[in-house]
Amino acid sequence: MEYFLDRVTLITGGASGIGRLMAHKIAASGSHVVLWDIDDENLARVAKEISEAGHRASVWRCDVSDREMVYATAKKVREDVGEVNILVNNAGVVSGEQFLGCTDQQLRRTMEVNALAHFWTVKAFLPDMIESNRGHIVTIASAGGVVGSAKLVDYSTSKFAVFGFDEALRAELKQQELNIHTTVVCPYFIKGELFAGVKSRFSFLLPILDPEAVAERTVNAIARKKRRLIMPPLVYSTWLLRLLPVDVFDWVATLLGINNAMDNFRGRQT
């Protein structure tokens, strides 16, 4: 895709999952891919995969919840690779517990990684984008940032936050008439370690999404400068359902199995 040619794309949480898949696709499209993660082993593996495929990749260990580490690592990226043109905020964590079952540390970690980290990364790279009047900020949110569900109180809170972050930032950039694009991505549950064990009651309506397809659609949405990508289409009905009484809205969510999807959640085992 021509959009990525000769650009620098930074992906947080790039060592695994859709971060890794997006990295491969974007690198193959001619972008120098920069990957941040705290998983050193998988970071090295992904960098080797991309390099052996004949593409460019650089990796840095960075905990995006650590504001000072984000700023320091961003400086290293700028010095070693150059200006970041496309920023993909993809890193995320899931507790998967009922609210009172989450420790204070889990709650804080969820907000720091899934939400506050977006502040630090965008503050680190947006000034260069403004100076060159070119850039793209991608927010990987979630369908859980459109409708809340049981056992995802902290996760949904963080994803509602970044959905709003994207919307407000988009308005602000438009107001300043800057040539900087934004894309927010809200997928339903994705197959893989992060949401291992989740179930869908009606898979033809709310399928557990294939990570390869999610990565492909996300990369295509970025290339087309699409402002919002929701998967699957049924999630769009949420905005209409909110016009109904709350009890009816909750009944529909339970009927669709949304509030029981996490019953057998195992998550990423460490």
Q: What is the pTM of this model?
A: 0.95
Q: What percent of the chain has pLDDT over 90?
A: 91
Q: What is the C-alpha to C-alpha distance for residues 112 and 104, in angstroms, rounded to an integer? A: 12
Choose among 18, 17, 19, 15: nearest CA to 46. Answer: 15
pLDDT tens for each residue of 165-219: 999 999 999 999 999 999 999 999 999 888 888 889 998 899 999 999 999 999 9
Asked if the model's pLDDT at residue 270 lies above 80, the reply is no
Contact 96, 151 (CB under 8 A): yes
Query: Could you list the active site residues?
Result: 155
The pLDDT score that the predictor gives to residue 194 is 84
Residue 17 zone, left/alpha/beta (φ > 0; ψ -120 to 50; rest): left
Q: How many residues does the chain have?
A: 270
pLDDT tens for each residue of 210-254: 999 999 999 999 999 999 999 999 999 999 999 999 999 999 999
Structural domains in the chain plus CATH codes: 2-260 (3.40.50.720)
Alpha helices in the chain (DSSP H): 17-28, 40-52, 67-80, 104-111, 117-132, 153-175, 211-223, 238-241, 246-255
Alpha helices in 112-188 (DSSP H): 117-132, 153-175
Q: Give the pairing type, strands 86-89 and 135-140.
A: parallel
